């Protein structure tokens, strides 16, 4: 059974934070940020906006494109690196906001690989025949977890959300193959240590800023450069394909140098790679749908195109999903 995307929607805050503004906040420069990351600006949510707000907005747009009603959704999978609360699930909160009264759901936590993992998971539910329609949402307000005095992390991340509707699309279309990996030995390289069971909220946690993103940038970069092309080749191979068959690579938007390394490994030109991190920065679970929607709106994706989604990040986790595109 071919399971694919029949609708997509995104949402980003209106507030734009440029590199030039960051120059006034920390010891950095537009030239330093641009040459090392490719990022020029990012979106920042206001104090009243939550991840579920952005997620619900993106979901409703995806529902509209798919020409379905919220009541037709059977399952909601939400993935995020900036959870609204430990519980209840964000899936439950968004389910109520969009009126998907017949849906079950859960949150799937896999950091920047979360959107790829969630699309793969949603497709498996549909393939069982037990559900028909799955809503997948990646949504982030990472700005709440940033130490704005840490120039190594505050220049990287932004806020936003993306959502897709999954349904059967015909045997020759949709998800063809996938590959997912974990290496927990690198768990401390990218983490938000405080605020949960290991380091509950306390004066000490706040003093040591354990409730903010902590990252070993050098090691995360080395890991990402290694896996982005490797896991995409692995997923393509499972479908009996190679990088020569690839029409579009849609990677997690972490760093332009990582994306360039992936394209070089695959032997594809950058004009076959979806890139928009210059506008949004690293939006974690939202970055792939934000980039994918641009391809669709610009009518660059054609019916039958081979598309590889690839995510990588905290865990350490990485994965790729290969699809034959069914034009929406």
Q: Which residues of 265-304 are buried (b: 16+ CB within 10 A; e: fewer)?
A: bbebeeeebbbbbebbbbbbbbbbbbbbbbbbeeeebeee
Cβ atoms of 314 and 82 closer than 8 Å: no
From the candidates 19, 154, 252, 255, which is the catalytic residue?
Answer: 252
How many other CB atoms sit within 10 Å of the CB of residue 86? 9
Nearest Cα residue to 164 out of 285, 314, 310 = 285
Nearest Cα residue to 44 out of 154, 131, 129, 175 = 154
How many other CB atoms sit within 10 Å of the CB of residue 100? 25
Query: How far is CA 288 from each of CA 9, 196, 273, 280, rounded to the nearest angstrom?
Result: 12, 27, 12, 11
Clarify whether 252 is annotated catalytic.
Answer: yes
Nearest Cα residue to 112 out of 201, 223, 30, 260 = 223
Clarify whether 112 is annotated catalytic.
Answer: yes
From the candidates 112, 154, 211, 255, which is the catalytic residue?
Answer: 112
From the candidates 19, 154, 255, 282, which is the catalytic residue?
Answer: 282
- Strand pairing of 75-79 and 134-141? parallel
Angle between helix axes 30-37 and 256-266 (nearest 10 degrees) is: 20
Q: What is the rounded CA–CA span in Å between residue 181 and residue 47?
A: 35
- Strand pairing of 190-191 and 41-43? unpaired
Cβ atoms of 64 and 9 closer than 8 Å: yes
Looking up tokens 């990218």 gives: 190
Tell me which residues are annotated as active site.
112, 252, 282
């Amino acid at each position: 059974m071919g399971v694919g995307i029949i609708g997509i929607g995104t949402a980003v805050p209106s507030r734009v934070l440029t590199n030039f503004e960051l120059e006034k906040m920390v010891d950095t420069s537009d030239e330093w940020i641009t040459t090392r990351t490719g990022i020029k600006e990012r979106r920042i949510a206001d104090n009243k906006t939550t991840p579920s707000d952005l997620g619900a907005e993106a979901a409703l747009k995806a529902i509209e494109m798919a020409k379905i009603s919220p009541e037709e959704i059977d399952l909601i999978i939400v993935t995020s690196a900036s959870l609204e609360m430990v519980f209840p699930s964000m899936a439950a909160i968004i389910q109520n906001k969009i009126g998907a009264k017949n849906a079950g759901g859960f949150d799937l936590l896999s950091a920047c690989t979360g959107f790829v993992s969630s699309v793969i998971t949603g497709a498996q539910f549909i393939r069982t025949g037990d559900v028909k329609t799955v809503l997948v949402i990646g949504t982030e307000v990472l700005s709440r977890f940033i130490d704005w005095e840490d120039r190594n992390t505050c220049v990287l991340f932004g806020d936003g959300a993306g959502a897709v509707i999954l349904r059967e699309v015909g045997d020759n279309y949709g998800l063809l193959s996938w590959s997912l990996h974990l290496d927990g030995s690198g768990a401390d390289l990218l983490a938000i240590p405080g605020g949960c069971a290991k380091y509950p909220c306390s004066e000490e946690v706040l003093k040591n800023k354990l409730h903010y993103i902590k990252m070993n940038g050098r090691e995360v970069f080395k890991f990402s450069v290694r896996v982005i092309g490797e896991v995409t080749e692995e997923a393509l191979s499972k479908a009996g394909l190679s990088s020569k068959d690839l029409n579009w690579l849609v990677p997690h938007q972490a760093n332009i140098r990582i994306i360039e390394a992936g394209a070089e490994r695959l032997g594809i030109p950058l004009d076959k790679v979806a890139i928009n991190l210059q506008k949004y920065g690293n939006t974690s679970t939202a970055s792939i749908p934000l980039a994918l929607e641009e391809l669709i709106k610009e009518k660059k994706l054609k019916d039958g195109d081979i598309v590889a989604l690839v995510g990588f990040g905290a865990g350490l986790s990485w994965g790729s999903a290969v699809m034959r595109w069914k034009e929406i």
